Amino acid sequence: MTAGARGEMKLRVLVVEDERPLAESVGYALEVEGFEVFVASTGREAINRVREVNPSLVLLDVMLPESSGLDVCRQIRAESDVPIIMLTARDAEADKVAGLELGADDYVTKPFSMRELMARVRAQIRRSARSGAIDDSNEILRGGGVELDLDAHEARVDGASVKLRPKEFDLLESLMRRANRLSTRDVLIDEVWGPSYFGDTKTLDVHIKRLRQKLERDPSNPSRIVTERGLGYKFVDA
């Protein structure tokens, strides 16, 4: 993953904005603040990204090419409690009210200063940290009898400590963050090996195989890391 030191896991922010220069400058400001940034330029992409990367915050522009940001807000809210800050036009009072009614947590009016936007972002992050939505103190992922202690960088399977290599650890983390949901091959490669990885995608399968040998009761008949044929893998928290 792109996070630097373990134990200082970066919080993820999804920026939904089709105007590329704006998305880029907002993304840059967020990275400077220490966030890991993902960008979506359409509503459909935004919904998929929320599912895939499980962000800690969404910045959502109301003006999107195919669907209104308000519809996207409604769809995200239907499946996630992630804090949402809407980006609205100055004279669109109705959008602001509608956004808040649909479950957005705050809005920022365009044009905004980065300083103002970052202050709002930090406020939302603090609020969700207090409400327990984000636990960045000592993050432990649990599911399917597997425990992944991200600070200690330790893995336990059915209570027994298991040694994982760094990429195996990152891969398991990626899978477990999307427990019971599809992890596509592209997303896994992107998260574990980085977006500029152009190596053999067999690398992914080899690492999956090694993880299964360490995690599965019967590696030839896996129940924790299952294959979604032609798509990717899924970590099953049964």
Nearest residue to Ca ion, by Cβ distance, number only: 63
98 to 68, 70, 232: CA distances (angstroms): 12, 7, 37
Q: Site size for Ca ion, by CB under 5 A?
A: 4
* CB nearer to Ca ion: pick between 50 and 62: 62
* CB nearer to Ca ion: pick between 22 and 236: 22
The single residue among 18, 52, 95, 190 that binds Ca ion, judged by CB under 5 A, is 18
Count of other CB atoms within 10 angstroms of residue 180: 11
Q: How far is the CB of 59 from Ca ion (least distance, A)?
A: 11
Site map 172..211 versus Ca ion, x via CB under 5 A: ----------------------------------------
Residue 92 sits in the site that holds Ca ion (CB under 5 A): no
- Contacts of 40-46 with C-beta under 8 Å, sequence gap 24+, read 40/14, 40/15, 40/16, 41/16, 41/17, 41/65, 42/18, 42/66, 42/67, 43/16, 43/67, 43/68, 43/69, 43/71, 43/72, 43/75, 45/16, 46/14, 46/16, 46/72, 46/76
Query: What whole-number distance in Å separates Cα of residue 154 and Cα of residue 16?
Result: 34
First to last CA, the chain: 26
List the structure tokens of 155. 């893995």
* CB nearer to Ca ion: pick between 16 and 179: 16
Site map 41..80 versus Ca ion, x via CB under 5 A: --------------------x-x-----------------
Q: How far is the CB of 172 from Ca ion (least distance, A)?
A: 37
* CB nearer to Ca ion: pick between 45 and 61: 61
Site map 19..38 versus Ca ion, x via CB under 5 A: x-------------------
Among 188, 206, 136, residue whose Cα is nearest residue 1: 188
Q: How far is the CB of 187 from Ca ion (least distance, A)?
A: 24
Binding site for Ca ion (CB under 5 A): 18-19, 61, 63
